[in-house]
Structure 1
């Protein structure tokens, strides 16, 4: 790990000012000289590997604003402070009651030790675990723009079948993000250009020709909160994660589902897919396919076919299409059968 300067600002404005002093307007957060750190469960790993090389770390854990550490439940929904830990949110009674898909996605992620360290904001901003991104001897457009993508002709079993490009097929490995994008969450950020709100669906960018540009954030912007709007029928929701082993493994395929039902007829469906895409993936076409339909195995299968109609497999990951379809069908039927 290369040497770096470590600072602990005590309020948001000081943290933003420090970041602004050592970055330019066009710097990407993941490539900036000064970077924010909270739990450190992602950035510290990549610094040890030589993938991330900031000159300065700005530790946000000394920030005095209590709103950053609170889970606030109101009639308008749930507001998670950015520094709330994953484990705390997963165990929160009202989160489990009102939005089981959110609690599930957090509970099934990583290990207990990591969930107790990792912040919610850091979790949604985590970077890919693509083997070719993590190993600096391989070509990777996300790590070194224009160098190529070794995954294209390499072992790509873990890689994405949705949202990829000729420049990058690295999978987004998070779980929490699938629940957030399914439920129309909003992210609050503060930076040198003021405060703003970003629909969660617009936070992450598909790789296209610029896979090194991963989010819509500026280098001096701090995520301060994540809001999930009030959806009373989101009590009928779950997150299903399929992986090589039962714990401490990333998803090969996953589905976040929430359903508003009239008997067995779908009034509204919310669906997001994980483990199969380059970004948190809202399966809007699958939602549309279910609208007004009786939810049974046939309609769930048709929705799954629609969700993967644009999938682009590679040599070793074609199995993810069928696995993803079966995962979604199972998630839909299990959500239908929930007792709420």
Structure 2
């Protein structure tokens, strides 16, 4: 058993089952963290309670992010430069010999590859043959169904999202926003009043014309790469994540709680939980607490459920 167990992300498959990615380590030894992924069934009220979700993957390194493809396959990246998927693909490069992982579900086979000597931070795509992974050292890696290619964008990434193969955003440290138009990655300018070293924490692409980018200085940029962005945020807040459910925009406000952007105003829905991440599914939105000890947990908001707000212990 590990002293620290934390949920880092949530996604949903085509059956409505919920996957959670975890990191596990002993206090003071985060460098030795391992990662797991669990799968939980859902009903009309969200994640089914009263049972421990089974693990489907274990790795001897921290799993940083995951994404569900439109085909219903899971893609995962880690801090050691590996990518994992249960899609029927053939990777040209095997994982490193010293790397260890275990498939823990009989119905799920994993294909694993070593992408690069880099800390992979985010993963997103449009299909199993069009997948992007962004990194800590400023590179983005593209899987085209045959091989991975490297693109040097110079952005230490925190998040990635898009609306299609020719409309992808990567945001991150040092006030950088990059956009891919299907041919090249280009840096996108942002409002001059923002701090030079701003950290953009998340990006949510609603459509080609409507994109939101949030940051630690309370900024919330709205716009797109073609027409530019305006800041509709406030320095009163610190934003760690953004999500969309049923055309509603939700924000993770850290110590100030969970917010909804409504008619240009930030409405506090919950002033607890210290949320630092937001992940939406088809029927619900999940908030990741910054503090999850002694037991890991997430916040579920499922509109229309018998109990719309739930604390889910993992």
Q: Same fold (TM over 0.5)?
A: no
Larger relative contact order (C-alpha < 8 A, sep ≥ 6)?
1
Structure with greater helix percent: 1
Length-normalised TM-score, structure 1: 0.24
Indicate the structure (1 or 2) with the bigger Cα radius of gyration: 1
Q: TM-score, normalising length from structure 2?
A: 0.26
Q: Give the number of the structure whose residues are more often strand, by fraction.
A: 2
